[in-house]
Structure 1
Amino acid sequence: MSATSRERILTEALRLFGEQGFAKTSIAQIERAAGLSGGSGALYRHFKSKEELLVRAVDARLADRGDWEQFLAPTFSVVTVIEAIAPTAGTVDRLVALCRIGLTRLDHDRDVTRILLRDNSIPSPLLEVFRHQEYAVVMSMVTRGLVELADDRAGEQDWDATAAVLVGALAHFWMMRDIFDGDHPADVDTDRYLRATAEMIAARLDWADPKGEDRG
């Protein structure tokens, strides 16, 4: 079934906002990209303003989680998934696996990630959408994953702060790599970065064996 005019507008607007930035994208550009007559004002039959369109487009993309629904569900178990993939993995390797889930999520919604991490012209209502629909959900998943991996040490750390550090490290790596067309400016590839991040989180939580035997 072909997409409706509203659906095409949402799709093309999100793509253009991600590629060009919110301020640099015009209503006429969005209309033309959606197969409408540029400058005709047809977009306003569906949305009151460009600001409303941006919020609705991001909201719709974040709500349509697809295959990611399982990872962000309250019942998701990081340990169960990792043990199924690599049952003998050590702590650091398990953390690397958790990092890969987060980094792949950023790649999955590339346009939304670009808008939120790189565009300082976005309206404040969008920040609230992101705060509640994405960031809070992801933070909850990462925090639960860390608690699961810590097991009997779960009561010894500030899990929210640790999760925020981990999410921030992944978001920064993604953003720098995206700005530099896929290559990190420090010439550090994904595998090295994720392992370094995992090792620092392990050290922060004092999970690794003092003799280095549990570094995966």
Structure 2
Amino acid sequence: MPSSEPGPGDGSGGDRRRRDTRRRLLAAAAERFAEKGYAATSVAEIEEAVGLRPGAGGLYRHFASKEALLVAVVEGYRDRLSLVRQTLAALPADDAVATQLERVCLALVAFLADERAVVRIGAELAALPTTARLVIGQAWDEAHGAFADVFERAGVAPARAAALGVAALGELAHYLEHARTFGTPPLEVPLGAFLASWQSRWARVVEEETTL
């Protein structure tokens, strides 16, 4: 029998159950939006997935609408990516630029591997509400910023470091998207070879920028 939500007077136990239900709604929504698409996923099937009575409105005790639920899903993704950026920025700044760039790349690849559902949701960007698209854009800015932080810490002026961060991630994203879309990397260049060339190139760019 599907569970019902605890009432407001249930105390701390009720609060814990509500928080748990909210987390499960976020996880279920992420999986179903990724599998079926946002528009094709109903509130009732998300409710059913977490043990709420389908169509009884249990989801609305936690989120104002399906769109609000989607926004919460992508906000969590953005916030987790922001934490990755903060963690990277706290690491030693005196390492070689190429080493720092490799560290950012590996951290982002590992992060995305753990966030496959939200990545799939973001791949259908045009089909999402504007509110969600804006948050996904903010998440991209956190990733751009992780590279910009490396350049700025190496002595590149902030505005220029931001521009370089956008360009550096653009190259990396293009390689990965090509490999994902076509099942083979551009010109069949292995990832390791691409990353070695990419790191070396951006290290040279930083050297040029800081010796002008």
TM, length-normalised to structure 1: 0.69
Among 48, 52, 62, the alignment partner of 2:68 is 52
Three-state SS of the structure 1 residue aligned to 2:93 is helix
How far apart are residue 139 of structure 1 and its match? 2.9
CA 39–157 in structure 1, closer or farther in 2 if over 3 Å, else same:
closer
Bigger relative contact order, structure 1 or 2 (CA pairs below 8 A, ≥6 apart): 1
d(CA) in 1 for partners of 2:160, 2:46 = 45
Separation (CA, whole Å) in 1 of partners of 2:178 and 2:44: 31
Flag structure 1 segments of 5+ consecutive residues without an equivalent. 84-89, 208-216
Q: Contact between 1:8 and 1:34, CA under 8 Å: does it hold in 2? A: yes
Gaps of 5+ in 2: 1-15
Distance verdict in 2 for CA 1:76–1:186, change over 3 Å: same
User: Shift of residue 54 of structure 1?
Assistant: 0.1
Structure 2 residue 24 is matched with structure 1 residue 8: yes
**In 2, Cα distance between equivalents of 1:74 and 1:199:** 20
Distance of 1:5 and 1:69 partners within structure 2: 24
Aligned to 1:21: 37
How many correspondences in the alignment? 192
- Who is 2:105 aligned against? 99
1:108 aligned to which of 114, 128, 142? 114
TM-score, normalised by the number of residues in structure 2:
0.70
**Range with greater deviation from structure 2 (24-33 or 161-170):** 24-33
Deviations 1:116-170 (A, max 9, x none): 23432111112332344x3333333321212334x4xx35992211100122233
Q: Is the 8 A contact 1:176 1:184 kept in 2?
A: yes
Q: Does 1:125 align with 2:126?
A: no
| SS of residue paired to 2:73 | helix
SS of the aligned residue for 1:79 comes to: coil
Q: Share of identical aligned residues, percent?
A: 26
Counterpart secondary structure, 2:127: coil
1:126 and 1:4 map into 2 onto residues whose CA distance is 23
Q: Are the counterparts in 1 of residues 152 and 158 from structure 2 also a CA contact under 8 Å?
A: no
Report how far residue 180 of structure 1 moved.
5.7
